[in-house]
């Protein structure tokens, strides 16, 4: 909980971070009794990354691959102080980048996942064309890609290679030292992911195909990093290629599993529609999923420029603060028409909804 003291302007009720006795998962626990509606914590938006804003009925995975979408993403994330170098990578990964565009969409064809995709599309009122292979398409937001790259580089040079701050500064290796950013990266479970491996996160065919998509996108990010690296950085990246490849893929899983879709209060345009936004924020990513009687609810207030978490019911002293990810969680991904693939509707793989990628546990544990 030392991170909250470095988030200037943040407000927080007394909380304690510890592991749960029943399964060892780390969570946040209240150290006092909280009444329903009482503030748990709030963060200024300049510590929060917005990956998208949309209506509940108007979510388009490919929206970030438009000029207007790229401009809005940059406008929402300008000046976020959590990982300062993310802004530079966001400009490079934007759809309208002037040169060296990085492909953040991957598509695979698979016969084995047809039944899974057909079932998902039936729920959405769409269908696959008969006779052709099923198509799984996965798109990573430029913000998610920028966060993935920033976190991976900080961990790689500082934690994996154990380069001292003096060495990194003298030879201009990696992101500039930043205490807040380094403490945040230290709090992420990257060591655990690297130890256990992300291969345990997918069991059925469709999840495996989505994993292949993420692997391809991670390779695209690796190529972008090599393109921008100076001589000293390139030497280390070339000396430990497998380590950095694994780290990028792990960071991609970590970032995507911590982007929650939450209600957005305040008018973003002239329309009077209920809006939601994808948010990656410190402290919020420490709240675990609880499908039955979650103790907290979260919103983003544009008027106050804050992310706010309040008690959804009375919370006892020593009780864990939890969210229902199905409410404050990823939007359901729907099949979308791809003009380049006229034979079928590609299914946008809902990897954000794979909560096992957050816990490295089976769903039955929940």
Task: Identify whether 11 is part of a domain.
Answer: no
Task: Identify whether 159 is part of a domain.
Answer: yes
The predicted pLDDT at position 22 comes to 85
Q: pLDDT band for position 93 (50/70/90)? A: very high
309 vs 83: CA distance, rounded Å: 22
If one counts every other C-beta atom within 10 angstroms of the C-beta of residue 31, the result is 11
State pLDDT tens for residues 137-171.
888 999 999 999 999 999 999 999 999 999 999 99
The predicted pLDDT at position 272 comes to 53
Which position has the token pair 């064809």? Answer: 109
Sheet of 275-280, strand order: 11-12, 39-44, 306-311, 296-301, 260-265, 275-280, 49-55
Task: Identify whether 219 is part of a domain.
Answer: yes
**Which DSSP state fits 330?**
P
Q: pLDDT band for position 204 (50/70/90)? A: low
Assess contact for 307 and 45: CB atoms under 8 A: yes
The predicted pLDDT at position 45 comes to 95
**DSSP letter string, 255-269:** HHHT-EEEEEES-SS
State pLDDT tens for residues 262-318.
888 875 554 556 788 899 999 998 899 888 889 999 999 988 999 999 999 999 999
The predicted pLDDT at position 133 comes to 62
Residue 32, both tokens: 């006092």
Q: Which residues pair with 323 in a beta bridge?
A: 289
Burial (CB count within 10 angstroms: exposed 0-12, middle 13-18, buried 19+), residue 270: exposed
Averaged confidence pLDDT in the chain: 81
**DSSP letter string, 131-179:** TS-EEEEEE--HHHHHHHHHHHHHHIIIIIS---HHHHHHTT-SSPP-H
Among the residues of the chain, which ranges form H helices?
A: 67-77, 86-93, 114-124, 142-155, 165-170, 179-187, 190-196, 205-228, 231-239, 241-257, 356-359
Task: Identify whether 217 is part of a domain.
Answer: yes
Task: Identify whether 228 is part of a domain.
Answer: yes
Report the domain count for the chain: 1
Give the global pTM. 0.84
Task: Identify whether 142 is part of a domain.
Answer: yes
Residue 319, both tokens: 């009780």
129 vs 82: CA distance, rounded Å: 45
Quote the percentage of the chain above a pLDDT of 70. 75
| Polymer length in residues for the chain | 366
Burial 97-127 (b: 16+ CB within 10 A, else e): eeeeebbbbbbbebeebbebbeebbeeeebe
Task: Identify whether 48 is part of a domain.
Answer: no
Task: Identify whether 96 is part of a domain.
Answer: yes
State pLDDT tens for residues 47-91.
999 998 877 645 565 566 677 878 889 999 999 999 999 999 999
Tell me the residue range of the domain where 198 lies. 81-111+134-258
């Amino acid at each position: 909980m030392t991170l909250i003291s470095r988030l200037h302007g943040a407000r927080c009720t007394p909380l304690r971070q510890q592991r749960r006795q029943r399964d060892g998962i780390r969570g946040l626990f209240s150290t006092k009794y909280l009444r329903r509606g009482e503030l748990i914590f709030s963060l200024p938006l300049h510590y929060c990354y917005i990956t998208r804003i949309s209506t509940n009925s108007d979510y388009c995975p490919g929206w970030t691959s438009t000029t207007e979408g790229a401009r809005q993403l940059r406008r929402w994330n300008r000046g976020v102080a959590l990982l300062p170098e993310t802004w530079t990578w966001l400009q490079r990964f934007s759809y309208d980048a002037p040169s060296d565009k990085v492909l953040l969409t991957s598509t695979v064809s698979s016969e084995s996942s047809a039944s899974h995709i057909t079932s998902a599309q039936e729920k959405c009122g769409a269908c696959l064309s008969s006779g052709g292979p099923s198509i799984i398409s996965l798109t990573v937001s430029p913000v998610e890609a920028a966060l993935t790259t920033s976190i991976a580089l900080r961990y790689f040079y500082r934690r994996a290679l154990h380069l001292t701050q003096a060495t990194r500064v003298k030879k201009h290796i990696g992101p500039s030292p930043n205490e807040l950013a380094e403490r945040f990266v230290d709090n992420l479970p990257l060591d655990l992911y690297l130890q256990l491996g992300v291969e345990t996160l997918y069991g059925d065919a469709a999840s495996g195909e989505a994993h292949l998509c993420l692997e391809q996108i991670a390779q695209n990010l690796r190529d972008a990093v090599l393109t921008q690296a100076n001589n000293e950085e390139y030497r280390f990246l070339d000396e430990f290629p497998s380590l950095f490849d694994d780290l990028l893929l792990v960071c991609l899983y970590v970032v995507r599993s911590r982007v929650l879709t939450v209600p957005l209060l305040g008018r973003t345009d002239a329309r009077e529609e209920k809006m939601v936004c994808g948010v990656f924020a410190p402290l919020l990513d420490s709240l675990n999923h609880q499908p039955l009687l979650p103790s907290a609810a979260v919103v983003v207030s544009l008027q106050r420029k804050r992310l706010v978490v309040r008690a959804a019911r009375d919370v006892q002293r020593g009780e864990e603060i939890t969210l229902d990810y199905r409410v404050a969680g990823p939007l359901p991904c729907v099949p979308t028409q791809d003009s380049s693939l006229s034979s079928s509707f590609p299914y946008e793989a809902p990897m954000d909804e794979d909560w096992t990628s957050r816990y490295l546990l089976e769903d039955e544990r929940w």
